[in-house]
Structure 1
Amino acid sequence: MSDPAILADKRSQTYYMTGTGGLLWKSKDLKFWEGPYHVAKTNPSSWMGPNPMIWAAELHQYKNKYYYFATFTNRDVKIDTVAGNVIERRASHILVSDKPEGPYVPMADDIYLPANKPTLDGTFWVDTNGKPYMVYCYEWLQNGNGTMEKIELKPDLSGSIGEGKLLFKASDSPWSREKDEYGNDKPNKVTDGPYLFKTGTGRLGMIWTSWIYDVYTQGVAYSESGTLDGPWIQEKDPITPPNFGHGMLFKTFEGKTLMSAHSHKKVNDRTVRIPHLFEVDLTGEKLIVKKEYLVE
């Protein structure tokens, strides 16, 4: 499974894990997991179609409801062709439930983000102005230089308000690399997997993922203003070991801060993605990833 995300639900004292595929697992101890359960209920007559691909799901509790942030792709609808690549209809979207185990169902707005832009990996943040936002990636497939953006959400998260605003570009990263058509080094074009957090000293940070050539890699940026508007200053070095990315943070019921992420491995010419947990120190000015967390 890729893009693992874990909600530690205090009410039920249960961990709920989602990711790519529209499935959910639940656990009392992070070791033994029940599932998978199908929890995402989409509208077959919407833009998503009858059987959308579902990527990078996250669960967020907000105002006594549970929200399912995910990327939905309708492979039957083509919105653009760039440099020979056909771009399918794909967008970050939000479903809702009264319970963490779902089912998660559509809300008022059928569309949160523009129909003519491929967007993905939406996550949730309430900024210092008290307003809720979705932070998401505008995919490099269309713009050639992936961006991180924000859009304001309605108070009940049932739709979006206004237009998306740029936070930073993939090319702002000092650590992500790729080769251009002439073999020259340049920043990688991919933005992937944003997740927001506060450090112990109150700094606003964002982990996000790109590539160093063919190695999946995660870095971190910090907002100088303490708000989503930034400016976002990219840390020079990645924060996880090579081949780990698309992380998120949660606190165990014992109070330990963990990061979930996934790695890649080739098995019989097939890429397999494997969830992992890391111990994290958030007590100081910066997020520090310590070591892989092995459940006893």
Structure 2
Amino acid sequence: MYKKRIRNINYPLLMFLFFLYSEGLFAQRNLEVKTDIPLDSIRLSDPYILADKASKTYYMTGTGGKLWKSKDLKLWEGPFTVVETDPNSWMGKRPMIWAAEIHQFKGKYYYFATFTNREVIIDTVKGNKIERRASHILVSDSPEGPYKPMEDDTYLPADKPTLDGTFWVDKDDKPYMVYCYEWLQNGDGTIEKIQLKPDLSGSIGEGKLLFKASDSPWSKERTTDGKIIPNKVTDGPFLFETQTGKLGMLWTSWVFGDYVQGVAYSESGTLDGPWIQEKEPITPPNFGHGMMFKTFGGKLLMALHSHREGPNGNYIRIPNLLEVDDSKDKISVLLKK
């Protein structure tokens, strides 16, 4: 979710950032609702799919804040507008919405998303203006919304750009948001946790570091003088447990010009880790920001987006589904032949 022009950045990443800005703005316009749309005809970054057992319906959201629904994961209806933000809040009148997720918890549906108010600048680092951006949670009685703000105006510090918040109930039975603290400000992106109130209406205490982008052995970038160093980006965390009870986390970064997803595992079985990074990415190049869900038939699938460069130099991003084996301590992705 890194959509900001940076100095000394490589060309593929620069075009990726430009595309995400464009996609975020375009996706929030009023679009005509269509039916029987194949999954590979939908353009969507950061797809997140909720398999809602009550309605036997799959609900997909992501960057842009729109909603798609399907009965079979093949043909989709949408996009629907489901988010109602407060124009008088820190988000402003028309916040950009990135990396949205829908989580069902204690009879309600919660919309975790990153909201950006481009009219408010919170910091300037190395000449780059950092906009007001944060992970936040909305609530609804229905998976189809509308999703509205709750009690707390702010979940995370206003002077820190945070993004890609996701949900986890840890071994202490307390709910947490796991999110990224953006590298644009701290220089080495992190993944952190913060405890949530029992009804998710706000946060409790302060965030705690889980790991840094530089902890990864697989993410890499080149400096202007050609030196290879760890990439600074953390993106798209998603928590899961294998059938053996092993706690893992999907997250995404870059290998030079390729957007790639890796995985880490917690030695303690809790969010506190320590988190041990796998040596190699778990998905092919230019697939990332994944999550996993079980189909109504019991198959474990990973939803993530692919991207390719379009004729105008921008990236085209399409949701994909990959089958996953989680029967052992570590997951494996069953790639299509």
Class of the TM-score when normalised by the shorter of the 2 chains: over 0.9
SS at the partner of 1:33?
strand
SS at the partner of 2:149?
coil
1:217 equivalent to 2:260? Answer: yes
2:323 is matched with 279
Post-superposition CA distance 1:34-78 (Å, at most 9, x none): 110001110000000000000000000000000000000000000
Post-superposition CA distance 1:103-127 (Å, at most 9, x none): 1000000100000000000000000
* Bigger strand fraction: 1
Identify which of 9, 16, 22 aligns with 2:65: 22
1:78 equivalent to 2:78? Answer: no
The unaligned stretches of length 5 or more in structure 1 are: none
CA distance in 2, matches of 1:34, 1:73: 27
The unaligned stretches of length 5 or more in structure 2 are: 1-43
1:244 equivalent to 2:256? Answer: no
CA distance in 1, matches of 2:189, 2:131: 16
CA distance in 1, matches of 2:192, 2:314: 32
2:211 is matched with 168
Alpha-carbon offset, residue 179 of structure 1: 1.1
Alpha-carbon offset, residue 291 of structure 1: 1.8
The one-letter code matched in structure 2 to 1:36 is P
2:236 is matched with 193
CA distance in 1, matches of 2:307, 2:127: 27
1:3 is matched with 46
The one-letter code matched in structure 1 to 2:96 is M
Total equivalences in the alignment: 293
Contact persistence 1:140–1:191 (CA under 8 A): yes
2:131 is matched with 88
Post-superposition CA distance 1:136-168 (Å, at most 9, x none): 000000000000000000000000000000000
Say what the alpha-carbon RMSD is for the aligned residues.
0.8
State the TM-score, normalizing by the size of structure 1: 0.98
CA distance in 2, matches of 1:180, 1:161: 39
Give the % identical residues. 74
Large movers: runs of 4+ above 2 Å: none
The one-letter code matched in structure 2 to 1:254 is G
CA distance in 1, matches of 2:92, 2:207: 24
The one-letter code matched in structure 2 to 1:61 is Q
Post-superposition CA distance 1:156-185 (Å, at most 9, x none): 000000000000000000000001232211
CA distance in 1, matches of 2:72, 2:336: 17
CA distance in 2, matches of 1:267, 1:104: 33
CA distance in 2, matches of 1:146, 1:193: 12
Contact persistence 1:201–1:285 (CA under 8 A): yes
Alpha-carbon offset, residue 270 of structure 1: 1.9
